[in-house]
Structure 1
């Protein structure tokens, strides 16, 4: 068997039959209405991905409570039973094309803004986020934690009712569940903080609630192999978390890294697109356009370069997890060629490879890989897509903004 052939085997996650080992990693699309219901544009995007040969699609994050909504426009929400029919329509459209659809469910915690949610931001501990630094989040009470646990369970129930093949808990990138897991953001001294077992408690209770409510419905998890924060998540802790997830009944674990506060550790690339930052980021919205060329030259002096390597940067963490658990392991992070993806599986780093940016520029890339028409993504890692999503729906910008912006 050649290395590339292994990527096109049919495999399973829980009870989900997946036609190949390529997964579309969760990506915020900005294609939901004011209530958080998916728009027709999102359905069209997922249909293109399904027709393009992807093994499975994980949606952009869907909020389980209005309190945990992102400040990015167009976030999916799954906090209300009234949303189920819209999600059922979306799932049916994707299933007609033969692809499984998994709903990522999330709460942003302190990684949002009160002007977006209409209420104060919350976190395990009242510690400012490095990016959303304007506000000190309110420390969650026992009652507040219970409300969030219940909201995740209800979200899984709605996903099942809508016909989704499973859910994925977003436990990475500095969002609320990651905030509980990381010693950098969780300084609690009660049973929700301190030891790793205590920091994991919110996840274990979410898992227990979901299993009690929806039985063996597939539940995946996305975790950080490391978060790059002082006193934060380390690879050894990621292995322990993966083991605890398996014990709790998790169906598969996806390994990522980083936080919004250390954004370049997530969206690695040759350089930060200053033009897009000045156009879309709320912190620079008030700067007159006439000053943007000067700011574009000055900002790089204060922004650290993207860490190395730019490709395959989560492979070591994924391999450590895969050696410790028996559930499938998915790895994401700069694996943009067929050879690199195949090698990750053959070498034992992961069972699946997930991608985001390659699917933005080419929804049909898996078919092109399979047919031998292409060996690498055309994505240049310019990261305009990851910055402009703060203002506009997801698209590839090909490394520049249109003239007149």
Structure 2
């Protein structure tokens, strides 16, 4: 058995393999309520052999949405709509997770399908965004700086969303602290210019994240809690890997179980050097220097590549996004490529498990 198809247990939840589906925004919800599209989209990955399927960045409050079409968990109606989707994932043998998110200054934007760019005006349903400081993301409206009461409300919103997620059946909760959204904005000195207890030193800039970890852990004491971190801003004087390592240590002390290591998204002038597995080195540093469990993500689209990452001790699991969109049965294909005999091929697909040798001419 390859490492990729060996199980991984996190806080009592055993995931059948280490090839996971990263959260991918679909911009297809109505008033935060997931639709039939989300059901089909997410359940197919479980049929395709994924170990863990993490649903998209799901807003903890209306003003936390990236766009008007984002999913949410701030109402019971949304919770109830997630229930059958989660059941479909679990019925197919995968674990179901959800990414809890607040977009901060990158909220109230047009969906990528609209043809528009920038902030949505109030007349079209947009709203005033919030952030650690009144500094706009390039090309977006200037946000309102959160006061102490606003910060407390954000923490409470994450806790309430966590409770609804567990009630809907989700088995893993991921706190989105990456990609330039609200928690990342507090972490990075490029977006956080506060002079109170939430700004300045690393300890202060990490305070919101640690409060959210505490709140989510209290709301879901037995559920694995992941944290998605951008390991670097890819910009001068910004957030970097050394700070990520330290904050991962602190978050683990507060009850976080695993760190989903990505990068970028905070500023438009970032300079990203991409390539196959280009973020794996960041995951490896967090794993080895912070002594925590991590998943690696970023252009991991090949079974041999994924297995090599695990074999090298660079991550405990690997997550992919676009490869799952290209092939919703990525894990089934990977098991054949690695020669693994896994027991969870759907009976309806068994005839495809072994390739038929080509006939001689």
Same fold (TM over 0.5): yes
TM-score (norm 1): 0.77
Q: Distance in 1 between matches of 2:338 and 2:210?
A: 44
C-alpha deviation, 1:232, in angstroms: 1.3
C-alpha deviation, 1:37, in angstroms: 1.2
1:221 matches 2:216: no
Query: Which residues of structure 2 form unaligned runs of 5+?
Result: 108-118, 340-361
Q: Does the CA-based 8 Å contact 2:259-2:292 persist in structure 1? A: yes
1:39 matches 2:35: yes
Match of 1:124 in 2: 132
Q: Distance in 2 between matches of 1:259 and 1:237?
A: 16
CA RMSD, Structure 1 to Structure 2 (Å): 1.8
C-alpha deviation, 1:18, in angstroms: 0.9
Q: Distance in 1 between matches of 2:140 and 2:8?
A: 46
1:23 matches 2:5: no
SS at match of 1:93: helix
Q: Flag the 1:216–1:326 CA change in 2: closer, same or farther, 3 A.
A: farther
- Pick one of 321, 329, 332 that aligns with 1:356: 321
Q: Deviations over 1:3-27 (max 9, x none)?
A: xx11110111222211111110111
C-alpha deviation, 1:40, in angstroms: 1.1
Q: Deviations over 1:158-209 (max 9, x none)?
A: 0011110021001100000000000110010100111111111111111222
Q: Deviations over 1:57-102 (max 9, x none)?
A: 111110011111112x531111112322111111111111111111
Count of residues in correspondence between the two structures: 326
Q: Distance in 1 between matches of 2:219 and 2:104?
A: 24
C-alpha deviation, 1:226, in angstroms: 0.6
Moved over 4 A (4+): none
TM-score (norm 2): 0.86
Query: Which residues of structure 1 form unaligned runs of 5+?
Result: 266-306, 375-405
Q: Does the CA-based 8 Å contact 1:23-1:354 persist in structure 2? A: yes
Q: Distance in 2 between matches of 1:168 and 1:141?
A: 25
Q: Distance in 2 between matches of 1:337 and 1:364?
A: 13
C-alpha deviation, 1:263, in angstroms: 8.4
Q: Does the CA-based 8 Å contact 2:57-2:101 persist in structure 1? A: yes
Match of 1:67 in 2: 63
